[in-house]
Structure 1
Amino acid sequence: MSGKQKLSGKEKAAVLLITLGSQKSAEIFKHLNEEEIEELTLEIANMRMVSPEEKQMVLENFYELCLAQEYISEGGVGYAKDILEKALGSDKAVDIISRLTASLQVRPFEFARKVDPNQLLNYMQNEHPQTIALVLAYLGSSQSAQVLAKLPTDKQAEVAKRIATMDRTSPEVIKEVERVIEAKFSSMVSQDYTTAGGIDSIVAILNAVDRGTEKYIMEELELQDIELSEEIRKRMFVFEDIITLDNRSIQRFIREIDNNQWAIALKGASDEVKESIFGNMSKRLVEMIKEDMEFMGPVRLKDIEEAQQNIVNIIRKLEEEGEIVTPRGGDEVVV
């Protein structure tokens, strides 16, 4: 691959992963879907040589885009362009902003991200649940959680359901909703037409609300759509979240799980999760589980995920019984 050739976006991503090294690249892969991972893996495998100049160029481009994205989050596109012009010159600033909006995109309702949740609530609480759901799906989970928790109770579950079942929304609809909401705040907004909503979106929001709000919404959802409520509940606490638990809670649920299940579940666990688990076990038990992991050989991903989900179900059961506490947004911690 010659440094004089213009690299495609996929090639740049591959060069970036190669430059960052295997450990950091593995962490990035956790946030990609299977198709993206397969494409990048193939790209990396077919890449025979990367020159120092190409590595430097890709790193500089990546840094510039991250910097511009941070500026946009702080003050919008105009603010980012102004800062970049002062630092890099007008032409360079325009180039970076253009590449950013074309690839990473500026999310809809960006103006609302800078609005206090209470003020946002005042303007939106009388809107249709679908409108509220669309806006909250594009905001940060913490901000959306605060708004959702303070909505009238008759709207909370309805909005949560609409976020969970939301898929793609047409650009025309987003544009019209933005126009109406923007007019209320008399703010400038940069538009894009990305996908928002879905199960992951409402799970992130519910993970950030207080338990009382979560409990009410989940109970209402169970009455309205039992399958949807079960799917959301299954994702409310994931196996990797074990690292957020205190040692006493970890020690409590460890007693409920047999060694074979631990051996399978930990086969696909991160080093952080393993450290959290092994750090709360006896030395003898750790040795037994590690021996089981070594001698069982390769394990199907499906079996690993099933074992991890069984452990998560036990954790949630113990939490519901008040025996352990999982850290959640909106909770007050009493020592």
Structure 2
Amino acid sequence: MDKMSGSRKAAVLLLSMGAEEAAGILRYMKRSDVEAITVEIAKMKRVDPALQDEVLNEFYHLSQADRQIAEGGADLAKEMLERAFDDQRAGEIMYRLRNFLQKRPFEILRKVDASQITALVQDEHPQTIAVILSHTDPAQSAAVLSALPSDLQTDVARRIALMGRAAPEVIKEIESLIEQKLSDLAADEASGGGGGLNVIVPILNNTERAAERQIMSGLEEQDPELAENIRNRMFVFENILQLDDRAIQKMLRRVDNKTLAMAMKGANPEMAERIMRNLSQKAAELLRDDIDVLGPVRIRDVEQAQRELVNIVRQLEDAGEIIISRGEKDDFIL
């Protein structure tokens, strides 16, 4: 059995379960792994009972060793594996387990200065910040939390306190985001800090709207991905607070209830109060009910809904219904 591929062993294991349980496990696996395992399942006409017992036995000992290591009992795990398998096989399993367990979530941030982490996360959704700070060193997390705006501090602290175990795919998604931001930061520093998104966005925000449209149109033709990254940073969900009430009401008339409820699921108290204030009493009550009905939601779904609201604001500006003034002297006005 030692020469059997991992995907074939996984296929045998899943065939030992019910279809519903097997499907539940497959949902958390990478697409390439799912394809490899399903190919093996399709090729199997029957599973030899002796082979099935061996696979189940190996899985049991692996899971037990995993638990022992997680509890700090690496020596005990090694001893248990050596009793179950020969020395070479036990050594191979321990090596794989240690390599897997040594990679903790957000490992890349453990050597990053707290001020840099603050700069990386300050524009992120409060739930995203909460997930990150709940996995970094407590001293790091404390320094970052202290550096955030006071209203955001409270929101993030509350989310950390109420947070359960984050889904692996959510952690992976946020890790990818942070790694990309660190990569962008490193590129900016390598070029002497002379450019980058953090430089062009304020420039465009202070550019006349006609000139900005022309620049963005050209960028969309040359580099659509870069244009989208710039656009997402130019006017963000939190900037809605800087619109006056009439502009917010125009935005609310264009958004559907489901999108608004999803966007408000992750809004800070100030934003929630501002939106509710610009709805009728009945509409505000319906929105609160819609938010409660949603239950737990994915961060990316909340952020997508918030982007839709931002897009509506930009559409209103393009149509001349509202004006987002340029320059530091004026805020966003109708």
Q: TM-score, normalised by structure 2?
A: 0.44
Q: TM-score, normalised by structure 1?
A: 0.44
**Is the radius of gyration larger for structure 1 or structure 2?**
2
